[in-house]
């Protein structure tokens, strides 16, 4: 009889666990290693795109050069938005690490979501400005088909923009998980991965701003 009760209790516990925050598929070591492998592969992708742009930057096919097309103050505004978004994400991570007590947990959850929302807003503004820049270039007849230099430019900057857009979707996903599951160990680890990804994109953009935009005016 006791064995039957034990089996029934075990089954009920398993059933209840299935409806909870089941992260059994997550392994801290595997997740961390896999994410770093992903970042290294992304580094290779961007290194290839930078190298391609460096080789093709002067192949304008008689078309306009970067100095004639780029508006440096506008791009500087984009850069400041993304850099400030890195700061706001850093504050969000500080709020994650600063949890204390049951009431503090709820307060910090709201604070984390607020700072993530601000990061999302800044990132979305960055994407909006980038779309506007691309649209203006296309209206001026300076699309990727115009020259090899512009093809390399659109590929490099566009690939970074797609990464930022993916980061924005990831931020929305994490905000939902914080609301659903709280700031447990799994959510904090996923936020840490997202933080690395976002700061990585900021670093790549600094390279884009220096190597693509500033170089055109030197």
Residue 108: predicted pLDDT? 81
Query: What is the C-alpha separation between 85 and 50, in angstroms, rounded?
Result: 24
DSSP state of 141: T
Q: Rounded mean pLDDT of the chain?
A: 86
Residue 189: predicted pLDDT? 92
| CA angle centred on 53, ends 148 and 84, rounded to 5° | 125
Grade residue 27 by pLDDT with cuts at 50, 70 and 90: low
Residue 167: predicted pLDDT? 97
| Predicted confidence (pLDDT) per residue in 56-65, tens digit | 999 998 888 9
What is the model's pTM? Answer: 0.83
Per the model's pLDDT, the better-predicted residue between 39 and 7 turns out to be 39
Q: Which residues contact 207 (CB under 8 A, 6 or more apart)?
A: 46, 50
Grade residue 1 by pLDDT with cuts at 50, 70 and 90: very low
Which segment of 67-76, 96-105, 130-139 scores lowest on mean pLDDT?
96-105
Give the relative orientation of helices 101-139 and 72-97 as an angle to the nearest 10 degrees: 160
Q: Which pair of structure tokens corresponds to residue 105?
A: 């947990």
Got the DSSP string for 12-47?
A: HHHHHHHTS---TT--HHHHHHHHHHHHHHHHHHHH
pLDDT of 153 higher than 50: yes
Which segment of 102-111, 142-151, 204-213 scores lowest on mean pLDDT?
102-111
| Predicted confidence (pLDDT) per residue in 135-152, tens digit | 999 999 999 999 999 999
Residue 106: predicted pLDDT? 57
Residue 20: predicted pLDDT? 46
Grade residue 15 by pLDDT with cuts at 50, 70 and 90: very low
The label of the residue with tokens 């896999």 reads 34
- Residues of the chain above pLDDT 90, percent: 71
Residue 107: predicted pLDDT? 58
Residue 101: predicted pLDDT? 46
pLDDT of 35 higher than 80: yes
Q: Which residues contact 142 (CB under 8 A, 6 or more apart)?
A: 63, 64, 69, 150
CB distance 41 to 191 below 8 Å: no
């Amino acid at each position: 009889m006791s064995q039957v009760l034990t089996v029934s209790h075990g089954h009920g516990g398993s059933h209840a666990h299935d409806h909870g925050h089941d992260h059994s598929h997550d392994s801290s070591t595997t997740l961390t290693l896999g994410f770093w492998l992903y970042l290294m592969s992304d580094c290779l992708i961007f290194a290839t795109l930078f190298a391609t742009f460096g080789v093709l930057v002067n192949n304008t096919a008689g078309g306009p050069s970067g100095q004639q097309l780029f508006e440096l103050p506008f791009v500087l505004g984009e850069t400041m938005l993304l850099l400030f978004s890195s700061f706001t994400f850093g504050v969000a991570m500080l709020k994650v690490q600063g949890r204390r007590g049951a009431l503090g947990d709820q307060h910090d959850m709201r604070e984390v979501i607020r700072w993530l929302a601000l990061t999302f807003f800044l990132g979305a503004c960055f994407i909006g400005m980038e779309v506007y820049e691309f649209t203006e270039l296309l209206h001026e007849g300076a699309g990727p088909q115009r020259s090899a230099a512009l093809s390399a430019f659109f590929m490099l900057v566009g690939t970074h923009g797609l990464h930022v857009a993916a980061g924005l979707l990831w931020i929305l996903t994490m905000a939902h998980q914080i609301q659903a599951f709280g700031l447990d160990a799994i959510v904090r680890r996923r936020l840490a991965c997202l933080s690395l990804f976002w700061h990585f994109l900021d670093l790549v953009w600094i390279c884009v701003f220096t190597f693509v935009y500033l170089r055109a005016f030197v």
